[in-house]
Structure 1
C-alpha cells in the first residue's frame, strides 16, 4: 500500500509582491504533485512603520504556531535569504517548527557574500544555533552548497534552479519570433527587474548610451518598479539619452509581448543573487544574454553559447558585448536557438515541482 504524501507547509512572502520568491511560487503552484499549505509571512503590501512591522512579525509567529498545532503538518519549507535581515527572523520559524517536532527544509533564495563570510568566522554560532539541525537544504548555486558543507552541514543539500512557466515556452512560436527579430528595423535591449542600484541600472543605461551613439536604431525597455525609478529617469533625461521606455511593473501577456519584441537581455547586476528569474525568463524567450556572473549563473552559463558573462562593472565592457551580438547576426541566431532549447529542457516549472 502506498504511503500517504506528507503534509507540507510552505512559508513565503505575499505573492502579490514583486520578487523572486513570489514569482517562483506563482509559477510552481499549478505543478505541485501534492497540495501544500501556504502561510504568508514577511512584509505586506502597504506596510510602513517599525511598530507595524513588529506587530506583524509577532502575528506571523503566532499564526505559524497555530497552523502547526491545528493542521498537523509533517514538514515545513522555509524560503529565507542568507542575509542579516532574514537569518534571525526566519530562524525563529525553524525553531518553532522543531519545537513542534516537524521536519524542516530550508531553501536559501539569496546569499549575501559578506554576511556568509561573517558566519564562516566569528558568527558561526548564530547559524549553528538556528539552522544547523534542518533536515535538508536547497540552494541555487553549487558554491552555496560547498559553503554549507564547509560549515559542517552533513544533511542532504539539493541544488535547484528558478523556473519559467511551461506554457510560456510551449505556446511560443520561436522560429517565427526569431525571424521577426532578425528582420526588425529596431533592436531592443530589455531589462525586466527591480530598479535598484545593485541591479546595475546605471551601468545598463550608460552601456546603452554608448551603443546607441553608434547604432541609432537601438531602444532600451526597462520593465519593473523600484526605489531607483525616479532617479534613473532623471539621470537619463539629464544625459539626454533617448529611446528608453520605462514601463513600470508589467505582468502576463503584456510582459510576454515585450519579451517577444526584445532582442537581448542586459543584466549588469551586482545584487546578491541566488539564481535570477530575469535571466531564466529571457532564455525561455530565446534571448541572448549579457550579464555579470552572479549566484548560480556560472553553474550552467557557457560563454559564447548562451551569450556573454563578465565580472566587470564598466559600461564600456557591456557596450562592447552588446555591439558584438548586434553586428554578428549568425552568432545572435545561434545563441538565441541555444537559449530557447536550453530553457525548454532545464527551466520548466513542471520539472522543478
Structure 2
C-alpha cells in the first residue's frame, strides 16, 4: 500500500513526541512492505540530509514566526498533496490540528482517503480557540480519528460529535538493555505543562539524583529552581532520540509529572521497555498506559507530596521495584510492539479506504 504521512517537524528536533514516533512508524511500515512518503517542513539551510529507507517531501514555509510558519506549511502541504494525491492509497495525518485539516481539504478536493491521529497537545491546547475548534470538529465529523487512550477518547466524545474515534497507542522497540541505576529520570521538552517544577518540589530535601534529558523555554528557570531547592539535578539537554535509552538504563524510577494535555509519551513506553518503573500523573493517556500498582504508579497532577511518596516507595522497596519493572516491560511487549501497532494501522487503512468512517 502507498501511504503518505503528514507531520510538521521531521526528523525529530525534540526527545519523545510525535516526531520520533512518526520516524519509527515510517520505518516499521516500510519494513512491512508498504511504500511510505513523509511530508514535512523544510528548514531552509538548516534542513538535514534525509537518509531514510522511504521518501521525504519537504514543504516550503516561511519561518518568520510560529503562526506564519504553520500557516504557510498548511498551504504548502495542501498544494503538494493535491498534486500527488493519485499516488497514494491513504493519507495518515499525525495530529488532528493542523494536519488533519489538510487531510480534510485534500480528501474533499481529490478523494484521497485519510485519517488523523490526536497526539495530545494538538487537541487539548487547540480545542478552545474558535477557528482551531472548527477545523478539529470538521475532521472529527468526517473521518476516523485515532487517540492514544480511553480517557482522551472520553474527553473528545464529551465535547464533539465524532464519526469514529479509536484508541491506538504508540509503538516502541524492545531493547536488550535493562535499567539498573539509581537515578530519578525525567525526559521531555522543558515546558511548564510537562511538570518538571512539580518533580523538583517532590525531590526537595531528598538525597536522590535527578537526570533531566531535554531542552526548552523553561530550562534556565528550572535549573535555577533546582539550585534553590537543593536538588541534585543534572540537565543533560537535547540528545538524539536513539540515545535516550542510555539515560533510562541508569535510572531507578522514571517520572512523568505532566499537567493536563498529555497524550501518550514515547519516553514512558521506552522507560517501561527497559524495565524502569514509571511514576506518572493522571493526565491524558497516561492512566491508560500505566496501571497503578501493577506497572507503575499514577498520582494526581500538581501534587508534589503524592509524587514524592511513590518515588520513595520505588527506592525503598526492592521487591516492589523489581515487580513493577518486570510487569512494565511485559505490558509494552504485549501491547506496544511495532508488529501490534502496524497490524492495527493496516486495519484502519482498510476501513478508511472503504469509506467505513463516513
Equivalent residues in 2 for 1:145-164 (5 A)?
A: 145-149=153-157, 151-155=160-164, 157-164=165-172
Give the Cα separation in 2 of the matches to 1:79 and 1:274.
13
With 292-301 and 328-337 compared, the bigger mean Cα shift is at 292-301
Give the unaligned 5+ runs of structure 1: 182-186, 213-217
Query: Cα offset for 1:92?
Result: 4.2
TM-score by length of 2: 0.79
- Larger-gyration structure (1/2): 1
The CA RMSD measured in Å over matched residues stands at 2.9
Equivalent residues in 2 for 1:3-14 (5 A)?
A: 5=1, 7-13=2-8, 14=10
Tell me, yes or no, if the aligned pair for 1:195 and 1:224 is still in contact at 8 Å: yes
2:294 maps to 1:297:
no
The 1:188–1:62 alpha-carbon spacing in structure 2 relative to 1, beyond 3 Å, is: closer
Output one character per residue of 1:8-44: Cα deviation in whole Å (capped at 9) or x when no partner: 2110122232151111012222211311221104988
The 1:197–1:55 alpha-carbon spacing in structure 2 relative to 1, beyond 3 Å, is: closer
Tell me, yes or no, if the aligned pair for 1:74 and 1:103 is still in contact at 8 Å: yes
TM-score by length of 1: 0.80
Query: Cα offset for 1:269?
Result: 0.8
- Residue aligned with 1:263, SS: strand
Give the Cα separation in 2 of the matches to 1:63 and 1:117.
25
Aligned length: 319
Partner of 2:350: none
Give the Cα separation in 1 of the matches to 2:19 and 2:76.
22
Give the unaligned 5+ runs of structure 2: 48-61, 343-358
With 322-331 and 16-25 compared, the bigger mean Cα shift is at 16-25
Tell me, yes or no, if the aligned pair for 2:146 and 2:166 is still in contact at 8 Å: yes
Equivalent residues in 2 for 1:1-353 (5 A)?
A: 5=1, 7-13=2-8, 14-18=10-14, 19-32=16-29, 33=32, 34-41=34-41, 48-50=63-65, 54=68, 57-58=71-72, 60-70=74-84, 72=86, 73-81=88-96, 86-87=97-98, 90-110=100-120, 112-113=123-124, 116=127, 127-128=136-137, 130-149=138-157, 151-155=160-164, 157-166=165-174, 168=175, 171-172=176-177, 174=178, 177=179, 180-181=180-181, 187-212=182-207, 218-241=208-231, 243-251=232-240, 254-353=243-342
Partner of 1:215: none
Give the Cα separation in 2 of the matches to 1:332 and 1:277.
21
Output one character per residue of 1:167-187: Cα deviation in whole Å (capped at 9) or x when no partner: x2xx22x4xx5xx44xxxxx2
The 1:116–1:236 alpha-carbon spacing in structure 2 relative to 1, beyond 3 Å, is: same
